[in-house]
Amino acid sequence: MNLSHQIRYGKADVKVYRTHAEPLTGITPIPESPFRARENTLAAAEIEVVVHGTEFLEAYTEGDNRRVVATDTMKNFIHAVSLRARARALEEWLLEVGSAFLDTYPHMERLTMVGRDLPFPAALVPSTDGDGFEASDRLYSRDRCDYGTARLDLARHPDGSIDITDHESGRAELQLIKITGSAFADFARDEHTTLPERRDRPLYIWLTIGWRYAEAPDAVLAEPARYIASEQVADLAQAVFHEFVSLSIQHLVNEIGMRMLARWPQLAEVSFDAQNRLWDVGAESPDDEAVKTYADPRPPFGHIGLVLRREA
């Protein structure tokens, strides 16, 4: 029997909590965001390494494990490299770990590094001078809302050089509710349509945003001024949602994408994955139509996607 094999293996869900990583500075500010820098006194991420290639084929076909790097070894290796990594941003962290894998294990041909930030913002505590509050220099609180993501595909050439063959950065699981200033009306209607038109409605969305740079080195802080922090993307999306009167979720995500491409000419592509999680009305005040209670919506949910790509 003639067969071809496409194999991959690796280690997922490697959580790394790194103290005193190198600060992220030199970011270009934008009007929509207060983000200027990240101290990285505590940097945390969930990292996955996926190895591709044919060098491990005998482990599948013959049970020959002599060339297999155990996934437990991979976990330990990620921690060892993370200890010395600059880790100013997630993408750079993944590049440092991935490059170290390819340099250390010559029989690894290609790999994919995937990461997600585990945000731990500084807790607000009473200021040392007794006047108001300040960010703690030692206490951090786990933030379980939206977070940055990144993916790098890396390959080693015969001369030993390493290239980024593909990449994507992202901000995942934004959950935003706007109680006025959104509409959905004038849509196609037929005998199956029961949804009423709404000229003004609350709009609750779950949103994941992705982006690719025209030049991959911009993603890994080759020039910090050209790097885009995921916090800036989240802030820009919120600013657009706040000010823009959208006629649909499709209308909204297109406006966010257009603003991103206008704000950051170094981007080649932006993408969106959105869900409509509009709450169901629970009860309404007979005296004031603005006063209502809402309940979580019942599934299924509307699911919207968009990719905006600059044409050459």
Given 169, 204, 228, the domain boundary residue is 169
- For residues 125 and 157, state if they share a domain: yes
Looking at the DSSP bridge assignments, the partners of residue 50 are 10, 112
- For residues 119 and 206, state if they share a domain: no
pLDDT for 56 = 87
pLDDT for 191 = 81
- For residues 154 and 208, state if they share a domain: no
pLDDT for 144 = 85
- For residues 196 and 93, state if they share a domain: no
Q: How many CB atoms lie within 10 A of CB 71?
A: 14
Residue 1 lies in a domain: no
Count structural domains, the chain. 2
pLDDT for 178 = 93
- For residues 144 and 203, state if they share a domain: no
- For residues 53 and 142, state if they share a domain: yes
CA-based radius of gyration for the chain? 23
Q: Is residue 193 annotated as part of the catalytic site, yes or no?
A: no
Distance linking the first and last C-alpha atoms of the chain: 45
- For residues 175 and 249, state if they share a domain: yes
Residue 191 lies in a domain: yes
The rounded distance, in Å, linking the Cα atoms of 27 and 207 is: 24
Residue 83 lies in a domain: yes
183, 244 contact by CB (below 8 A): no
Residue 143 lies in a domain: yes
- For residues 153 and 247, state if they share a domain: no
pLDDT for 71 = 95
Given 114, 138, 169, the domain boundary residue is 169
Stated as kind and residue range, the H or E segment containing 190 is none
Nearest to 45 by CA among 11, 13, 75, 85: 13
The rounded distance, in Å, linking the Cα atoms of 97 and 161 is: 15
Residue 2 lies in a domain: no
pLDDT for 121 = 94
Given 141, 169, 197, the domain boundary residue is 169
Of 11, 112, 149, 178, catalytic: 11
- For residues 179 and 259, state if they share a domain: yes
Backbone angles phi, psi at 102, to 5 degrees: -65, -35
DSSP SS3 for 236: helix
Q: Which residues of the chain carry a pLDDT beneath 50?
A: none
The rounded distance, in Å, linking the Cα atoms of 17 and 159 is: 34
- For residues 259 and 148, state if they share a domain: no
pLDDT for 193 = 73
Nearest to 238 by CA among 269, 213, 260, 262: 260
Owning domain of residue 140? 8-169
Of 15, 19, 54, 71, catalytic: 71
- For residues 265 and 289, state if they share a domain: yes
Write the pLDDT tens digit of every residue in 218-236.
999 999 999 999 999 999 9
Give the CA count within 13 Å in the CB-facing half-sphere of 15.
Answer: 2
pLDDT for 64 = 87
pLDDT for 229 = 98
Q: Is residue 11 annotated as part of the catalytic site, yes or no?
A: yes
